[in-house]
Structure 1
Amino acid sequence: MPVVLANAARLARLAMAQILQPPPPVDFEEWATSNIVFDERESPLAGPYNPNAFPYFSEILRALGPDDPCRFVTFAKSAQLGGTVLANIFVLGASHMAPSNILYVHPTEDNARRWSRMKLAPMLMNTRVMRSVFSSKSRDGADSVFYKERMDGRGAILISGANSPASLSMISIRRQVQDDLSKWDINAAGDPEQQADSRSRAEEFAKVFKISTPMVAPGCRITRNFLAGSQEHFEVPCPHCDEYQTLDWENFQETIDDKHPEKASFTCKACGALIMEHNRPDMLRRGRWVARNPQAGREHRSFYLWSAYSPLQSFERIAREYLKAQGDPAAEQVFLNDTVGKAYQAQGEAPPWEMLRQRADDTGHKRSTIPVGGLVVTVGVDCQKDFVAWQAVAWSRDGRRFVIDHGIINGHISEQECRDGLDDLLKSTWRNAAGRAIGIDRLAIDGNDSTEDVFGWARRHPVSKVIMVRGVYSEAVPLIALVKKERDRKTGKLLRYSRRFFNINQSVFKMGLYRNLMRDDPLARGYVGIPSGLADEYFLELTAERRKPERQRDGFIKYRWVKVHQKNEMLDTMVQAEAAATHFGVRDFLETRWDRLEAEREMPLPEAQLDLEDHMAGLASARPQPKANEAEPEISTDQELPEPEVATPQPQPKPPARQRQRWSAYR
């Protein structure tokens, strides 16, 4: 029986031919048009990818291809503008057309896990050409949450979190995506961005795609990368004079009318004509990218785009979001980041404490009273080793606040005397301008230190009245978020604090407070009213910290809040009181809710009823007195005296039963 042997020379020539064959052209836009189909459950533009709907993406996709010599591509943008769509096209298209190892880095491993399961896995299943590239079945570790290997072994997608230095080491990557870059924080090995960039150092023709909405400047990563690159903006022609220009936020802001946000538009910089929303589709089709730092383009191309260019965002909605955010620094930051796509300039320096003291002495209200408009009362409590500091704040419409009172309770939180003092504080009431006694709506107590002791006191009160908070200084976390898992530092036992313990973004709260303290108009949004007669120490503690850069051992700069005054309890309790107000929902109250609170809490008290003797005394005092040198007329004892007219007390109308219930609840 003849035996057929393989021709070794022929196999060698076939292998060499495959290796030496020039790679096929890589056109990400053409690949997306042919292969990407959006599901109607995930995108309002369901159906095949249409480059005419996103004309500003074409140049970014070209920059990501091998024909452009740049190594880094940065996309600074508003939220929900399609950055993830670009990243997905880049990852899947490269895996299909030019196989290699691809690294996709998220801020944390939790983010990475969610993206892998909720985004990547469905895309690999729903994109027809990718089904033959990646297997959906686990095979010798080739398919897992953080690792997707091609079936032919020619490449893989590695998914990582920036908080994990181990996943950013010992690998060489030709292409990578750094998603939500502004939210990356320092990990145990130093700066994760430098660690990720170094993974592509050995690859001469590497591509590193950096995407994010900006956060806080100085220190915003995506802003720093955008300024280091070519700084390209999308210019569109005026529909009236054809003059090319960018659609700038400042231009749009000038046309916003708080009574008619639906009329918001741009003004042509050349002819002065209004550019309306219905002009946008035609302008976008004729748009072009223009670099303001073109000499950096060979190494680093950077692009900026904001919501006004997106067909998914109307001009009216942008205007309404802007008007809603005014006066609330935290909301202003979210608007500037997510809608305008720009970094929020941090107010890291507190206003001079002497200026605040003088303003309080000149225009402040009386201590222990609630000024007109203060409708919700919250308290912040800061626990120290031998005392507990507290501060009560009243909240009004438009984010305005008024300091009511502050004080000290001696003792540690674990001592019964201190706990009794906190119980008494929780029962406290303050008189408002209508004479009504208003109690505490919500109290937030610091649970960062002596957590078990704080929890021991807090659990005695309903969660609708008392919450625990812990400051987190990362500027990328939510304003307030539930602490999901906590372990005992000594035993390692998993603790559960139910719905009571919250992390708060202490940095954003402080920046917002310092920005609002600069407002001197009592009717301005965000105004902070301080009572007159407070000691200097109060103002020193309120302005006790600064946001300053600190250089780390690896040379990276991290921004921290540092003390410039030894004591800072009033600053901390103010932040905790604002966290309590945020948890209570003050930021999201509708005008109808404010109206109801105003009717319930600022309705004047009914006048007290007088008895008969009081009425007689009042009539006697109202009787006309004889003039000087005029004899009082004599009254004969034989005459019958008329009965005095006594005003009959009128019954006061009672409020409706439903309103009486509300009043009793608030008391």
Structure 2
Amino acid sequence: MCIHLTNAERLAMETSAEAWDPPPAVDYLSWAKRNIVFSERESPERGPYNEDRFPLNSEILKALGPDDPCRIVTFAKSAQLGGTVLANIFTLGSLDMDPGDFLYVHPTDDNARRWSKMKLMPMLKGTTAIARLFPTKSRDGGDSVLYKERIDGRGALQISGANSPASLSQVTMKRQCQDDLAKWEMNAGGDPETQADSRSAAHMFAKIFKISTPLIWPGCRITKSFRAGSQEVPELPCPHCQHYQVLTWDNMLANLDEAKPEAACFSCVSCGGLIEEHHRPWMLKRHRFVAGNPKAMRYHRSFWWWAAYSVLQSWEGIARAWLTAKGDPAREQTFMNDMAGLAYEAAGEAVAWEVLRDRAAQSHYRRGQVPAGGLVITIGVDCQKDYVQWQVVAWGREVRRWVVERGVFPGHISEPSCQALLDDLVKQLWINSAGRGLGCDLLAIDGNAWTEDVWGWAKKHPAHRVIMVRGANTETAPLIARVKKEVNAKTGKKLKYSRRFFNFGASVLKMGLYRLLNKTDPLERGYVGFPVGLEDDYFQQLTSERRKAKKNKQGFEVWTWIKDATQANEDLDTMNQAETAAIKLGVRSFTDTHWDRLEAEREAPIKGLQLDLEDLMNAAAPPASEAPTGAADELAANAVRDDAPEDEPPPPAKPPAPAPAARPSLRDLGRRLNRR
């Protein structure tokens, strides 16, 4: 029998050589070329990573490498610009080339879990260099949704949510990525960005990658970080005179012909020549980065570019996105963030209330009337301790709105007398310019306080007529989102009102309203009209809040809406609730065809009776049930398309009914009197 013995001296020498051998150079760009292969699901750019297609990325990847002395790298950008790809290369490349502990922070734990399952796991399995380091069958705790450890124990990836201070404590990380930074909000421990930064304080040569699409300024984290850094932007040469310049959204907007969005282009700031999309590949190959704050490059390099630089986005697409968003503050914010890569400048203060009052005094319609163009009616209701306040708003084309009426019902929402008045409000009709009676298409009532009492009244009405809402004052909240299913604290049963209970982005709606209040042209998109006859306190309440910075309990600055302690704000709240009802109905996305149908049904010229003024004013409005129902049924279907209770199906479509016997409009009557 032959026994093989290990040469102890040789083994010691090999181990020593491996330990003393200097590690290979950390080159993220080369690593990406060797290892990153895009699938059709991950990117429209299928195949290996191609530097020629994404030339601007290379400078960021170099800044993230150890050869660059900077400690922080910030990337403020448009959406869908390859930021996630850069974060993935930085994360996986670090774990492969220079093992160590890595922290990846998302806005919330839910975001972190979703990213781990839907993004990280496919990359770990599909990247050959990484798959061998992170086996997915480990049962020793080294492989979980939020924690991934190398098989040799030389490094690990911890995935956290910025909303959890516990996950940002008691760890020391050499490298980290702070993703979607603009969406981070204060947590129970204070400022999550400060908490995350401190996790790398012990490492002299740490790297922190901050990446996000901007949101709202002032207060946007990624914009603040970009301005604190080197402020590097890409300059491209003019194809005509070779003068280097930054392609800006303002330049494209100045050259935009709304009738020909396919001709979107830039103009050279030097020679005036048109820079067209077919010039982009040639210019990108010759790009250069210029720093607006070069003294910061030693410690903090920050970069910015937007969709016009990306080969994945056409300039025509950018132009069409703007034309769709123009005039609608909520959509304009989305455009400025996602397309232009810029923070949306918030309208923190409304126009002076006296200006609105004087404008209303010159209005062409009176309080209680629906002016021409008002085709959809929504109502916002706010519940207080001893009264219920409401506001009626009419909506028309181009997201224009007109205040119709406002009022107050005495009593608490739980009182039968108050509920009876609200029942009548749901049934009430308002006369429009054609003399027809328009009823409420959807009422949104505040369910944040006295929720059970509000539900006790709301459930008496169908879901396509009444919904419950509550404001979410965080600036990252969507315009409207269903409240997560809630349970009774005592019984543990799911509460039925979750089916028609919605959160709305109160902060975004307030900023949008305050911006729109500055518009004075009644034909301008988003115009807000007021009738003659509203009291001064209506305009005071509508403009009662200001967006300001204040210190929270931990001493950090946060931006929030502050109300004058001596001024009520219910009319501002009911305006937001009425707008939420309009959003639920889909008013923002109605096509011209849909508006045409509503106009034909609700503002059809009236033929028939010729009444004198007194008869007209005393005549009863035609019942809502007699009105044509084609477009109205679509409104009802929109109101319940995803929240109808199981025992309450959406209203069936009805065939259009013949127009009822009609009366002359006030406008027609005035013309007849003049002819006499």
Query: Does TM, scored on the shorter chain, surpass 0.5?
Result: yes
**Offset, 1:656:** 10
Whichever residue aligns with residue 358 of structure 2, its letter is Q
Does 2:576 align with 1:575?
A: yes
Tell me the secondary structure at the aligned position of residue 123 of structure 1: helix
CA distance, structure 2, for counterparts of residue 93 and residue 146 of structure 1: 19
- Give 2:278's aligned residue: 278
Cα distance change, pair 26–418 in 1 and its aligned pair in 2 (3 A): same
CA distance, structure 2, for counterparts of residue 347 and residue 161 of structure 1: 30
Whichever residue aligns with residue 143 of structure 2, its letter is D
**Offset, 1:556:** 1.5
CA distance, structure 2, for counterparts of residue 188 and residue 11 of structure 1: 53
Tell me the secondary structure at the aligned position of residue 560 of structure 2: strand
Equivalence map 1:24-43=2 (5 Å): 24-43=24-43
- Give 1:551's aligned residue: 551
Tell me the secondary structure at the aligned position of residue 251 of structure 1: helix
Tell me the secondary structure at the aligned position of residue 548 of structure 1: strand
CA distance, structure 2, for counterparts of residue 106 and residue 286 of structure 1: 35
- Give 1:614's aligned residue: none
**Offset, 1:363:** 2.5
Tell me the secondary structure at the aligned position of residue 362 of structure 2: helix
Whichever residue aligns with residue 181 of structure 2, its letter is L
Does 2:431 align with 1:431?
A: yes
- Give 2:541's aligned residue: 541
Whichever residue aligns with residue 451 of structure 1, its letter is T
- Give 1:66's aligned residue: 66
Task: Point out where structure 1 has 5 or more consecutive residues left out of the alignment.
Answer: 611-653
CA distance, structure 2, for counterparts of residue 333 and residue 140 of structure 1: 47
CA distance, structure 2, for counterparts of residue 11 and residue 423 of structure 1: 88
**Superimposed CA distance per residue, residues 600-643 of structure 1 (whole angstroms, 9 cap, x where no aligned partner):** 11102221399xxxxxxxxxxxxxxxxxxxxxxxxxxxxxxxxx
Cα distance change, pair 26–330 in 1 and its aligned pair in 2 (3 A): same
Preserved contact between residue 364 and residue 529 of structure 1 (Cα < 8 Å): no
Task: Point out where structure 2 has 5 or more consecutive residues left out of the alignment.
Answer: 612-625, 632-653, 663-676
- Give 1:81's aligned residue: 81
- Give 2:590's aligned residue: 589
Equivalence map 1:343-354=2 (5 Å): 343-354=343-354
Preserved contact between residue 379 and residue 577 of structure 1 (Cα < 8 Å): yes
**Offset, 1:322:** 0.8
**Superimposed CA distance per residue, residues 13-70 of structure 1 (whole angstroms, 9 cap, x where no aligned partner):** 6555444432211111111111111111231111111111000001011111111111
Preserved contact between residue 479 and residue 504 of structure 2 (Cα < 8 Å): yes
Preserved contact between residue 600 and residue 663 of structure 1 (Cα < 8 Å): no
Preserved contact between residue 435 and residue 604 of structure 1 (Cα < 8 Å): no
- Give 1:157's aligned residue: 157
RMSD: 2.3
- Give 2:672's aligned residue: none
- Give 1:374's aligned residue: 374
Cα distance change, pair 245–537 in 1 and its aligned pair in 2 (3 A): same
**Offset, 1:533:** 1.8
**Superimposed CA distance per residue, residues 517-550 of structure 1 (whole angstroms, 9 cap, x where no aligned partner):** 1111111111110111211111111111111111
Equivalence map 1:334-413=2 (5 Å): 334-413=334-413
Cα distance change, pair 427–148 in 1 and its aligned pair in 2 (3 A): same
**Offset, 1:138:** 3.1
- Give 1:110's aligned residue: 110
Preserved contact between residue 264 and residue 319 of structure 1 (Cα < 8 Å): yes
Tell me the secondary structure at the aligned position of residue 424 of structure 1: helix
CA distance, structure 2, for counterparts of residue 207 and residue 22 of structure 1: 21
CA distance, structure 2, for counterparts of residue 363 and residue 426 of structure 1: 26
Tell me the secondary structure at the aligned position of residue 398 of structure 1: helix
Does 2:478 align with 1:478?
A: yes
Whichever residue aligns with residue 243 of structure 1, its letter is H
Preserved contact between residue 74 and residue 302 of structure 2 (Cα < 8 Å): yes
- Give 2:237's aligned residue: 237
CA distance, structure 2, for counterparts of residue 591 and residue 20 of structure 1: 73
Preserved contact between residue 395 and residue 402 of structure 1 (Cα < 8 Å): yes
Cα distance change, pair 477–657 in 1 and its aligned pair in 2 (3 A): closer
CA distance, structure 2, for counterparts of residue 603 and residue 109 of structure 1: 54
Preserved contact between residue 77 and residue 306 of structure 1 (Cα < 8 Å): yes
CA distance, structure 2, for counterparts of residue 561 and residue 211 of structure 1: 27
Tell me the secondary structure at the aligned position of residue 182 of structure 1: helix
CA distance, structure 2, for counterparts of residue 249 and residue 74 of structure 1: 21
Preserved contact between residue 628 and residue 659 of structure 2 (Cα < 8 Å): no
CA distance, structure 2, for counterparts of residue 111 and residue 165 of structure 1: 15
- Give 1:224's aligned residue: 224
CA distance, structure 1, for counterparts of residue 537 and residue 140 of structure 2: 66
Preserved contact between residue 484 and residue 496 of structure 1 (Cα < 8 Å): no
- Give 2:637's aligned residue: none
Preserved contact between residue 600 and residue 662 of structure 1 (Cα < 8 Å): no
CA distance, structure 2, for counterparts of residue 496 and residue 208 of structure 1: 46
Whichever residue aligns with residue 527 of structure 1, its letter is Y
- Give 1:455's aligned residue: 455
CA distance, structure 2, for counterparts of residue 463 and residue 212 of structure 1: 38
- Give 2:562's aligned residue: 562
Preserved contact between residue 364 and residue 530 of structure 1 (Cα < 8 Å): no
Does 2:600 align with 1:599?
A: yes
Preserved contact between residue 387 and residue 409 of structure 2 (Cα < 8 Å): yes
Highest Rg: 1 or 2?
Answer: 1
Does 2:123 align with 1:95?
A: no
**Offset, 1:80:** 0.5
Cα distance change, pair 412–9 in 1 and its aligned pair in 2 (3 A): farther
**Offset, 1:553:** 3.6
Whichever residue aligns with residue 426 of structure 1, its letter is V
Tell me the secondary structure at the aligned position of residue 570 of structure 1: helix
CA distance, structure 2, for counterparts of residue 490 and residue 65 of structure 1: 56
Preserved contact between residue 268 and residue 275 of structure 1 (Cα < 8 Å): yes
Whichever residue aligns with residue 589 of structure 1, its letter is F
- Give 1:250's aligned residue: 250
Cα distance change, pair 664–104 in 1 and its aligned pair in 2 (3 A): farther
CA distance, structure 2, for counterparts of residue 394 and residue 658 of structure 1: 19
- Give 1:646's aligned residue: none
**Superimposed CA distance per residue, residues 424-483 of structure 1 (whole angstroms, 9 cap, x where no aligned partner):** 100011111011111111111101001111112112222211111111111012111011
Cα distance change, pair 571–158 in 1 and its aligned pair in 2 (3 A): same
**Offset, 1:497:** 3.0
Preserved contact between residue 544 and residue 563 of structure 2 (Cα < 8 Å): yes
Tell me the secondary structure at the aligned position of residue 497 of structure 1: helix
- Give 1:46's aligned residue: 46
Tell me the secondary structure at the aligned position of residue 245 of structure 2: strand
Please identify, of 147-156 and 406-415, the stretch whose mean Cα deviation from structure 2 is larger. Answer: 406-415
Tell me the secondary structure at the aligned position of residue 559 of structure 2: strand
CA distance, structure 1, for counterparts of residue 376 and residue 342 of structure 2: 33
- Give 1:313's aligned residue: 313
Please identify, of 18-27 and 92-101, the stretch whose mean Cα deviation from structure 2 is larger. Answer: 18-27
Cα distance change, pair 492–70 in 1 and its aligned pair in 2 (3 A): farther
Whichever residue aligns with residue 403 of structure 1, its letter is V
Tell me the secondary structure at the aligned position of residue 340 of structure 1: coil
**Superimposed CA distance per residue, residues 98-119 of structure 1 (whole angstroms, 9 cap, x where no aligned partner):** 1111111000011111100000
Tell me the secondary structure at the aligned position of residue 339 of structure 2: helix
- Give 2:519's aligned residue: 519
CA distance, structure 2, for counterparts of residue 453 and residue 440 of structure 1: 22
Cα distance change, pair 353–33 in 1 and its aligned pair in 2 (3 A): same
Number of aligned residue pairs: 624
Preserved contact between residue 378 and residue 443 of structure 1 (Cα < 8 Å): yes
Equivalence map 1:175-194=2 (5 Å): 175-194=175-194
CA distance, structure 1, for counterparts of residue 543 and residue 344 of structure 2: 21
Identity score, percent = 61
Please identify, of 210-219 and 563-572, the stretch whose mean Cα deviation from structure 2 is larger. Answer: 563-572
Please identify, of 272-281 and 489-498, the stretch whose mean Cα deviation from structure 2 is larger. Answer: 489-498
Does 2:67 align with 1:55?
A: no
Equivalence map 1:137-176=2 (5 Å): 137-176=137-176
Does 2:295 align with 1:299?
A: no
**Offset, 1:486:** 2.6
Please identify, of 212-221 and 124-133, the stretch whose mean Cα deviation from structure 2 is larger. Answer: 124-133
Tell me the secondary structure at the aligned position of residue 143 of structure 2: coil
